[in-house]
Chains A and B, each alone.
Chain A
Amino acid sequence: MDLSQYLEFASCTDPGMVRSHNEDAVAADPANGLAVLADGMGGYNAGEVASGMATTVITTEIQQLLAKVKPYDLDPESNKIIAGQLVREQVMKANASIYHAAQSQPQYAGMGTTLVVCLFYDNKALVAHLGDSRLYRMRDATLKQITRDHSLLQEQIDSGLITAEQAKHAQHKNLVTKALGIDPTVEPEIREYETRPGDIYLLCSDGLCDMVADEDISMTLEALGANLKLAAQQLVQMANDNGGKDNVSVILVRVLREYPAARGVVGKFLGWLK
């Protein structure tokens, strides 16, 4: 099923006003309903290499798999929908590639990347993430942060050491507790959400949410939702106008209408049995 008639995609990435090169990478595949955003880290050009590898490996691997299977197919052994497992395995594959490159080539030592992956299928959005790149959802004129950062700051908020308000002025926003390519294996956080027509999903690197207040993001998506490309450019521009201290990347996905899975009779029957 070609999802490009059901979902509208727009993306924009920019080095920002301070950094000389862009360590963020974005990839979108509207036909397969896939969006991948990564924010690389590591010396010299290694950050770019890590984020580029992450987006390329995950997109191409998932594309190849989706040519053979459907995300809503059932796993013959566990009788569960394969989407979660499929994304998880590709994220782990990307992790292994980056980790091995970092181990084998001294100039890439210590590189890694944050990641947020969104796979749309069967009126759902499957979200996998690592680190502090985020997914937001705009629904009924309300902006909601869907992912929770894997960062020291978030852990401190969760444990009650600091408040969300104090966190805005914290000094260690840059410390993430999970990332792709740092350790031999990694467990991405994977969740699934129902989507509705009219929803706008925003994948972004910390260069956006550190520079632009949530209210301004919300206002932009509401005012410019009709023109997704312009909204993406506007978000990046706002981050740059506020100082643009980091690379800024956004992917916007709007659900145009429902996209239920076209299951076969057997699949429907199994789905009904559960």
Chain B
Amino acid sequence: MAKLILSMDGLVLKEIPLSKERTTIGRKPHNDIQIDNLAVSGEHAVIVTILNDCFLEDLGSTNGTLVNGNPVKKHFLQNNDVVELGKYRLKFVGEAPVPAATAEKADFEKTMVLRPAAMKAAAEQARAMGAVGAEAARATAAQQVAASAASAGTVEKEARPAPAPISATATTPTPIPAHTPAPAPAAPAAPAAAKSPHPLGAIQILSGANAGKELELAKPLTTLGKPGVQVAVLTRRPQGYFITHVEGANPPVVNGQAIGTAPHALKDHDVVELAGVKMEFFLKG
């Protein structure tokens, strides 16, 4: 968000974020920025903010408004512009032009409706812009869609929480490592990249036919147990790992205590009992 830094004689008085669509400046108390000085008119100027652009407008003040030393009526504020009202100076600091950050911010702007009229204008503009390379773009678009569809197919296969490990922990002697899912290939969506790194956890089976087998918990969630009998899910979150009861008459037991239905945070070397199998949770380096 853009802001103004109010100062007099080189002394910074305050910082004012331009959070409103209209920010008024003047001597009278109803202004958003009140400057109680006789050289400042009652309603001196206004700053209109539209998306990331700020416009300064003098409201017919007695002593005028200067921007970078020049009197202005209307002015499109640029980063580091200095607005002067009498002896007061307002330095304009625009939004930091970090493309990635602004892009992300824009992503999550509040939902807005495009009215049909505006829509047509936008569509025409887009058409005008795209007309030149439209054909080429369409061709590559088709290719890329096909490619992404193909990769989506593989992603899904790999990311599928293979039910195999579930039965493996319970009965069959299938070696677990064969089914240990590779960490899902870097998900294309930005949100995935936003996940904060934390130590990778793993489960080592302590009892039963698969004793000694290890299962890495690389996915956001991994189910364990025997469907229809007792199933729990291990979720990987920024705060660490949690175990939650999914189905079955009894919740899983952690360190000898039944966990109930709420998620239970797992600590390094906790021992989990599920569907008659004991396993140890631990964090990998």
Contact = CB atoms under 8 A, between A and B. Distances in A.
Given A160-B137, A164-B145, A218-B156, A174 B238 contact: no
A245 B110 CA distance: 10
A132 B138 CA distance: 24
Interface string A227-246: 10010001001100111011
Q: Which of B111, B219, B238 has the most CB of A within 10 A?
A: B111
B256 to A, nearest CB: 24
B161 A175 contact: no
Interface in B75-133: 103, 106-115, 119, 122-123, 126, 130
A268 to B, nearest CB: 37
Contact of A41 (B103, B108, B111, B238): B111
A226 interface: yes
A242 B191 contact: yes
B103 A169 contact: yes
B220 A216 contact: yes
Nearest to B246: A227
Contacts of B140: 163
B267 interface: no
A244 to B, nearest CB: 10
B188 A168 contact: yes
A189 interface: no
A163 B110 contact: no
A163 B221 contact: no
Contact of A152 (B107, B122, B144, B223): B122
Nearest to A229: B261
A178 B111 CA distance: 11
A25 to B, nearest CB: 14
A179 interface: yes
A160 B142 CA distance: 8
A103 interface: no
B148 A112 contact: no
A6 B155 CA distance: 33
A169 B189 CA distance: 8
A219 interface: yes
A223 B221 contact: yes
Interface residues of A, number: 58
Contact of A227 (B112, B148, B247): B247
Contacts of B108: 18, 173-174, 210, 245-246
Interface in A229-274: 230, 234, 237-238, 241-243, 245-246
A175 B114 contact: yes
Contacts of A218: 156, 159
A45 interface: no
Contact of A237 (B134, B187, B237): B237
A111 B57 CA distance: 29
A194 interface: no
A197 to B, nearest CB: 17
A238 B227 CA distance: 23
Nearest to B185: A215
A65 interface: no
Contacts of B284: none
A136 to B, nearest CB: 14
B220 A219 contact: yes
Q: Which of A161, A170, A206 has the most CB of B within 10 A?
A: A161
B237 A156 contact: no
B107 A215 contact: no
A216 B222 CA distance: 11
A213 B188 contact: yes
Contacts of A165: 144, 148, 188
18 contacts: A41-B112, A152-B119, A159-B126, A161-B126, A163-B144, A163-B145, A174-B108, A182-B113, A212-B191, A216-B192, A216-B220, A218-B156, A218-B159, A223-B222, A226-B247, A237-B235, A241-B237, A242-B194
Interface of A: 18, 39, 41, 47, 112, 114, 131-132, 141-142, 152, 155-156, 159-165, 168-179, 182, 206, 210-216, 218-220, 222-224, 226-227, 230, 234, 237-238, 241-243, 245-246
Closest 7 CB pairs of A and B: A245-B108, A160-B138, A242-B191, A171-B106, A213-B189, A226-B247, A213-B187
